[in-house]
Structure 1
Amino acid sequence: MYTMGIDIGSASSKAVILKDGKEIVSTAVAQIGTGSTGPSKVMAEVLEKANLTEKDIEKTVTTGYGRFSIDMADKQFSEISCHAKGIHFLIPTAKTIIDIGGQDAKAIKLDKTGRVKQFFMNDKCAAGTGRFLDVMSRILQVDLDEMGDYDSMADEPSVVSSTCTVFAESEVISQLSRGLKKQNIIAGVHNSTAAKACSLAYRAGVEDDVVMCGGVAQNSGVVRAISMELGTNVIVAPNPQTTGALGAAIYAYEATLAEEAI
């Protein structure tokens, strides 16, 4: 039995196909999100990778901002539930999840069975999200995928104290004009991002294992900063962008079993 999960976020679309609720057959990520061609592109790609068609998929569950935009979906679940389900599948010892996506950040507390005990999300401000890092990378003229490398070379991280992306932008420009090293500014940006994400985690209650997912989990500098802030080793989930889609695919499988049992 094949089931599909699709996570349509603000900045990207992700999909996972699962076989018999246990085997990840294929995954795909399109770097365009809701309101675009992202969902259709990611569906086509994940099916092609698995050498399957829509007719082969028993059930499809969607999640994320754009979860109601796909007519062929059988069910929709919140991203909180899907990230929890996906992370527990991958890392059963996870108790705290930090998810940083394109325009939001979440902290989720799990019990030992993987159920959500508590969660907190940031407000609508982009500070501490992927969007914040995207703005900073453009100001610093450093590619996003290189920011982790710069972070590793920092010897005296700067302080980026502004909680607003616009004010932080001015702060970083000022630091550049004063001749501060880019690697130290980038480390400061990562520390600022970590502080905002960890404030959510503290509210939810931090307990090991701490697992990070979302697109920003691919930035080793942010992972370093969060680990330092929390005083614990943060585990990066395998394919961290697709954990929500994986959880949705698992929900699709469980829903199919429940219907068959009736």
Structure 2
Amino acid sequence: MQWYTMGVDLGSTTAKAVIVDAAGEIVASRVVQMGAVSRQAVGVAIESVLEDACLSSEDIARTISTGYGRRLVPGADKTFTEITCHARGAAALSPGVRLVIDIGGQDSKAIAVDDDGLVDRFALNDRCASGTGRFFDVLCRALEVDLDEVVDLALAGTENLEVSSMCATFAETEVISLLAQGSAPADISASVHRSVAARTLGLVAQVGKAIPAVMTGGVAQNKALVTFLSDALGQDLVILDTPQIAGALGAALIARDEYQGQLGLTVQDIETDRQLVAQRSGGLRDCTGCDGHLGDGHAHDHDGGSRRPVPVILQTDALSAAGPSPR
């Protein structure tokens, strides 16, 4: 009897759902955008992907959720962090990948991946929205253009302006100030994109630059950032056809492995997983010590401390509480 598994990635701005068959092949996928961490969006994504696959919920043997709002996904059997799921999904979409750069709506991550597509090391910037999808939304509003236009402007910019503030809260004010000084919108957009690339490079430096490298998440569709980040890395990023579904695909594949009794994940540091959960809930966010500056290219916490990479493979919260499962 044929069976299927589903992965659902509820991010800060979009909901993604992927169904795979017993062989791990994608049967259907959906991306739905309906506002911040939307329960409605995740419901639409699930219903739509089932309809696309000509399946019902009874045909799904196992569902795993991931993403910013993973605990809000109805019917999920377990939850895994998006770090684990994006690594697995990226490895499936681009076999042999060694570095995954995931830039989402509210945070960004650099993930080193091993030979088996599992997380080796990761660095996370989630205490500030700098270099995320939200940051580009602010840029669009300040320049009074849509996202496609801001990307085109960035690719056309020629002058490298000094962009001192990388805090999304103050970015709009700074962009308006640059406009008032007579700076061209194209140069402003290009300079902001270069600064975001530099910020991302700081995360990559913490886990180690490796090739092949891919970008996942919605911001991977920003051609200007891909160009500037490739230049900063000194290597071309692998371009995925569907970068937004990487997390949901990884969750679906993990669900498949678990259903078959072949789950190959371990937890090296359960406390780190719990810290990530606390950060996702906003409990560790603090902007009181932020100077709003990009600084020396290294990733900094808002308390001014430099963040070090954490050698950990993150697993589902439920499994973390119960302890590591055998590899």
Q: Which moved more, 1:120-129 or 1:99-108?
A: 120-129
Kindly provide the amino acid, as one letter, of the partner of residue 11 in structure 1.
T
Kindly provide the amino acid, as one letter, of the partner of residue 216 in structure 2.
C
Residue aligning to 1:5:
7
Question: Does 2:191 correspond to 1:183?
Answer: no
2:23, 2:191 → 1: CA distance?
42
Kindly provide the amino acid, as one letter, of the partner of residue 178 in structure 1.
Q
1:54, 1:36 → 2: CA distance?
17
> What do the CA deviations read for 1:58-78 (whole angstroms, capped 9, x no partner)?
111100121122341112111
Q: Aligned to 1:198, which of 191, 197, 201?
A: 201
Residue aligning to 2:311:
none
Task: Assess if the C-alpha contact under 8 Å between 2:64 and 2:255 holds in 1.
Answer: yes
2:137, 2:51 → 1: CA distance?
30
2:56, 2:249 → 1: CA distance?
18
* SS of match in other structure, 2:179: helix
| Structure 2 runs not aligned, ≥5 long | 263-327
> What do the CA deviations read for 1:27-65 (whole angstroms, capped 9, x no partner)?
111113425311111111111111211111111110012
Question: Does 2:124 correspond to 1:131?
Answer: no
TM-score (norm 1): 0.94
Residue aligning to 2:57:
54
Matched ranges for 1:1-262 at <5 A: 1-32=3-34, 33-258=36-261
More strand by share: 1
Kindly provide the amino acid, as one letter, of the partner of residue 173 in structure 2.
S
* SS of match in other structure, 2:70: coil
1:80, 1:208 → 2: CA distance?
18
> What do the CA deviations read for 1:91-147 (whole angstroms, capped 9, x no partner)?
122111110000000000011221211001103211111001001101101111332
2:158, 2:73 → 1: CA distance?
48
Task: Assess if the C-alpha contact under 8 Å between 2:7 and 2:63 holds in 1.
Answer: yes
**Gap change, CA 1:30 and 1:161, over 3 Å in 2:** same
Query: Percent identity between the aligned chains?
Result: 46
Q: Which moved more, 1:89-98 or 1:154-163?
A: 154-163
CA shift for structure 1 position 238: 2.5
CA shift for structure 1 position 168: 2.4
Task: Assess if the C-alpha contact under 8 Å between 2:8 and 2:73 holds in 1.
Answer: no
Larger RCO, structures 1/2 (Cα 8 Å, 6+ apart): 1
1:249, 1:21 → 2: CA distance?
11
Q: Which moved more, 1:187-196 or 1:29-38?
A: 29-38
Task: Assess if the C-alpha contact under 8 Å between 1:161 and 1:192 holds in 2.
Answer: no
* SS of match in other structure, 1:201: helix
Q: What value does the CA root-mean-square deviation take over the aligned residues?
A: 1.4
CA shift for structure 1 position 157: 3.3
Task: Assess if the C-alpha contact under 8 Å between 2:123 and 2:207 holds in 1.
Answer: yes
1:57, 1:247 → 2: CA distance?
16
1:204, 1:238 → 2: CA distance?
25
Task: Assess if the C-alpha contact under 8 Å between 1:21 and 1:250 holds in 2.
Answer: no
2:110, 2:248 → 1: CA distance?
18
1:183, 1:203 → 2: CA distance?
31
Task: Assess if the C-alpha contact under 8 Å between 2:106 and 2:126 holds in 1.
Answer: no
TM-score (norm 2): 0.76
| Structure 1 runs not aligned, ≥5 long | none
Q: Which moved more, 1:244-253 or 1:159-168?
A: 159-168
Task: Assess if the C-alpha contact under 8 Å between 1:147 and 1:219 holds in 2.
Answer: no
